[in-house]
Structure 1
Amino acid sequence: MNTLPSKLKDDAIVEALCQIQFVSDDLPEVIIGRATDFWVKSGYLAERLPIADIPAPIRKANPNLRFQPTIQLREKQGPNLIRIGEQAISFHVAGEKKYPGWDSFRAQLKGVVEALFSNLTTNISVNKIGLRYINAIVQDRHFIKDFHELEFEVSVGGKQLTGPLNLNFNVSEETEHIVTTRLAHGSFVQGTLPAKTSAVIDVEVSTANAFLAKNAPDVLNWIEKAHTFEKTAFFALIPDTVQQKLVEK
């Protein structure tokens, strides 16, 4: 299709999330306390995550733990989650058919970003952002019965592969966005998937290494562009004939 669809009749999203990593002059405990208080007052329930039991010096020294959340806030009446660590915050909408559409999700992200800059921290710098959509392609809903009906080909030694695959690749967009597409047959994916899932398309747009933002508008502008790149990567894999059936007129 020549233009990106604005809305689908039945989207494939099983989780959408945005993670923001930052540095601040405030003590980590102060940031987490302010954030917890802010969203509890907004109707979220706070849960302490198991990783919080690992001493802070050990978490900071391990690159795999440094940005992991220690507190989770769950919306009382809804699918939204907010996870907070000492240098990171993420917002999630999880569940089959729970994604509210980009207009609503963008407004929710705007609230998180503005709260981060105005209510939770002082002298903050954002150095990494990731916008990620995990899509489960279901045979009966999305008109794709076989993994290899998606728009891609992989050949080894001149022979096209036709069995289950797990394919990851990066594409750089402009100077501040890197698009990572993870395309997998259901047999490679752990966790619960909808019945008759023929493929999982996981698209994550992340910042380049030199990224730095010191205000909410710059972060939101990056997220807006990231969403366009995410949609472009996703729809590049969907045949035109299938898109025509899925697009809401």
Structure 2
Amino acid sequence: MKLPKTILPCPIVESTLEIRFQTNLPPDTMVGFVYSLFQSKDSEVQLTALPISQIPAEIRRQDPNLKYKPTHRLHTKEYDALVGSNVVVLTIPGKYVGWNKFKSNITDFIQTIQSNIIGKIEYIGLRYLNFFAFDIFDRIKLNVGGDNFSRGFPSVFKSEYKKDYCTNVLQITNGVHLQNPQMNIDADGSLIDITVVLVNNHLTDVNFENIVERIDSAHLEAKTVFFSLLSDDYLNELGPQYE
């Protein structure tokens, strides 16, 4: 499938990369060490504690629901990173800047922390949240039917399926209300939520020499899933631009 480079308007309202790992540092020192690395590059970097940091570290480590929750926000000029003792989550505030820029920020972050901080990588998840100010079920190739299915009410479709090197998690929801002041959105509509996950056997050969390449592959998979959903007529309405 030939994939567009851009469409207008771009529906992406949130893009995140989450990496879970084992650390080679004492867990309680992970956040401070990452902050010091970034501060040495930029004195204006800010570190803010999140509410979950008030929970004792030992409790967080023993609770599987809390172990991979970030405890601090690292704010740089280009992007934000949520950091915990075993996790980093990179986000770009506001309007999506395109994959090349997002990838550049990911590369910068990884290169900055490449000082034996991270041991075994346990999980990589690249997520895209797309918003449409209408019922997206009318403009995608997915058909959901049955006597009890009504398109006039909020509906949720969720699928999780494995491929050779990843697992795709897809959720499509209509009848939602989205408020996003940064993007000037306050409207009813639909969401297409796509997460491409690399975990377990998909990560056996991932290291800091090839991790960006693997994340690049996850991005291509997320893009393929998204455009394979859109009807041909709707895609043409978006004025796709190709390489």
Q: CA deviation at 1:233?
A: 1.2
Alpha-carbon deviations, 1:67-113, whole Å to 9, x = none? 1111101235x5x2101100111110132xx2111111111111122
Of 163, 169, 172 in structure 2, the residue corresponding to residue 183 of structure 1 is: 172
> 2:141 matched to 1:154?
no
TM-score normalized by the length of structure 2: 0.86
Corresponding residue of 2:200:
209
Alpha-carbon deviations, 1:38-87, whole Å to 9, x = none? 233434211011111101111011111001111101235x5x21011001
> 2:237 matched to 1:245?
yes
Q: How does 1:30-69 map to 2 (within 5 A)?
A: 30-40=29-39, 41-42=41-42, 43-69=44-70
Matched residue of 2:115: which SS?
helix
Corresponding residue of 2:8:
9
The answer on whether the counterparts of 1:127 and 1:213 sit within 8 Å (CA) in structure 2 is no
One-letter code aligned to 1:23: Q
Corresponding residue of 1:169:
159
Corresponding residue of 2:28:
29
Q: How does 1:54-203 map to 2 (within 5 A)?
A: 54-76=55-77, 80-95=79-94, 98-116=95-113, 118-119=114-115, 121=117, 124-138=119-133, 145-151=134-140, 152-156=142-146, 161-163=150-152, 164-174=154-164, 176-187=165-176, 192-193=179-180, 194-203=185-194
- How many residue pairs match? The answer is 232
The answer on whether the counterparts of 1:20 and 1:88 sit within 8 Å (CA) in structure 2 is yes
* Structure 1 residue ranges (4+ consecutive) displaced by more than 4 angstroms after TM superposition: none
Alpha-carbon deviations, 1:121-157, whole Å to 9, x = none? 16x211110000111113xxxxxx3332132221235
| Separation (CA, whole Å) in 1 of partners of 2:9 and 2:241 | 9
| Separation (CA, whole Å) in 2 of partners of 1:186 and 1:103 | 32
One-letter code aligned to 1:196: A
One-letter code aligned to 2:151: T
Corresponding residue of 1:141:
none
**Unpaired segments ≥5 residues, structure 2:** none
| Separation (CA, whole Å) in 1 of partners of 2:229 and 2:124 | 24
The answer on whether the counterparts of 2:131 and 2:190 sit within 8 Å (CA) in structure 1 is yes
Matched residue of 2:25: which SS?
coil
One-letter code aligned to 1:238: L
Of 227, 236, 241 in structure 2, the residue corresponding to residue 235 of structure 1 is: 227
Q: CA deviation at 1:214?
A: 5.2
Of 209-218 and 41-50, deviating more is 209-218
The answer on whether the counterparts of 1:166 and 1:184 sit within 8 Å (CA) in structure 2 is yes
CA 1:120/1:15 → structure 2, altered by over 3 Å: closer, same or farther? Answer: farther
CA 1:120/1:50 → structure 2, altered by over 3 Å: closer, same or farther? Answer: farther
| Separation (CA, whole Å) in 2 of partners of 1:34 and 1:121 | 9
Quick one: percent identity of the two aligned structures? 25
**Unpaired segments ≥5 residues, structure 1:** 139-144
| Separation (CA, whole Å) in 2 of partners of 1:66 and 1:106 | 26
